[in-house]
Amino acid sequence: MVRRSFGGDDHIFVEFDEEMNLAATFRAMAVTATLAERRIDGVIDICPANVSYQVRFDPDLVAPQELEAELESIEDGVGDGTGFDLRTTIVEVPILYDDPWTRETASRFRSNRQDPEATDLEYAARINGFDAAGDFAAAHAGSPWIASMVGFVAGLPFLFQMVPRERQLEVPKYLSPRTDTPRQTIGHGGCFGSIYSVRGAGGYQMLGITPAPIYDPTQTHPDFADSLVFFKPGFIVKYLPIDREAYDELTAQVEARRFRFRQAPVTFSLGRFLADPDGYNRGLMEVLDGG
């Protein structure tokens, strides 16, 4: 299924599916990556997203119908995306689950929450059928995630776990959004994970926090020399659970501007992933460990 719509006279929006899934999301990445390579005059922003994508353009430089025809031909060439190799990055993100800062924030928004007596992590574990919060955390950190979309605010990745549908973790968002979320909170809402790039409003359940900055408008941290945003659509994340001692050590490294993400370049193939998700994910880990 392909549904196209103009968003005013200067955006075109394309949706491949109504349901979240990796295949349609990857197809959007493949189409947008191909479009970017063509360097069409008048194309301003190319935004891959979950099961959809959007192109912002200047209709004075490229006629909307011509751009639409170009996209159609790219979509035909990409097909279902299984033949497309995405050159991307795999990165290890340290996470302190059930940390004191998101706990404190959650306690300030009791009436926004489904279960004010439990932590967000305990609630997420219970409604996903886990006996203990630690079991949920193990599933959360056990398989990698792909940044299916980067946005909402600057540099915030939407993360979709690379596991079959029946193993997807699903947690409702807060009953009503918080007005505050600590920077670098790792959240989960619906089937999506996220890392809050800046402090601010939010509706995802708060599972933990990472000491690593992912957005640096001052560009003073070593990983941000080339870009003030760390995540690009298509990045693959593997969480590394850490304890408080490691958290404090990494925070000291961040403050000294010495922290570097452990990361490696990787090529992702949807076809090979779909054939054997767990085996493919193990291979990705080997790339990270060798990198």
Question: Which residues are at the interface with other proteins (CB under 8 A)?
Answer: 5-11, 13, 15, 18-21, 44-54, 56, 59-60, 64, 149-156, 158, 165, 172-173, 190-192, 197-198, 200, 215, 217, 228-229, 231-233
Q: Compute the least distance from the CB of residue 33 to other proteins, in Å.
A: 11
78: left (phi over 0), alpha (psi -120 to 50) or beta: alpha
Q: Compute the least distance from the CB of residue 6 to other proteins, in Å.
A: 6
Q: Compute the least distance from the CB of residue 95 to other proteins, in Å.
A: 21
Q: Name which of 25 and 281 has its Cβ closer to other proteins.
A: 25
156-172 residues labelled b (16+ CB within 10 A) or e (exposed): bbbbbbbbeeeebbebe
Which run of H or of E encompasses 145? strand 145-150
Q: Name which of 255 and 286 has its Cβ closer to other proteins.
A: 255
Q: Compute the least distance from the CB of residue 228 to other proteins, in Å.
A: 8
SS3 of residue 192 by DSSP: strand
Q: Name which of 173 and 262 has its Cβ closer to other proteins.
A: 173
Radius of gyration, alpha carbons of the chain: 20
Q: Contact, 189 vs 171, CB < 8 A?
A: yes
Q: Name which of 153 and 225 has its Cβ closer to other proteins.
A: 153
Residue 91, classified by CB atoms within 10 Å of its CB into exposed (0-12), middle (13-18) or buried (19+), is buried
Q: Compute the least distance from the CB of residue 215 to other proteins, in Å.
A: 7
Q: Name which of 46 and 246 has its Cβ closer to other proteins.
A: 46
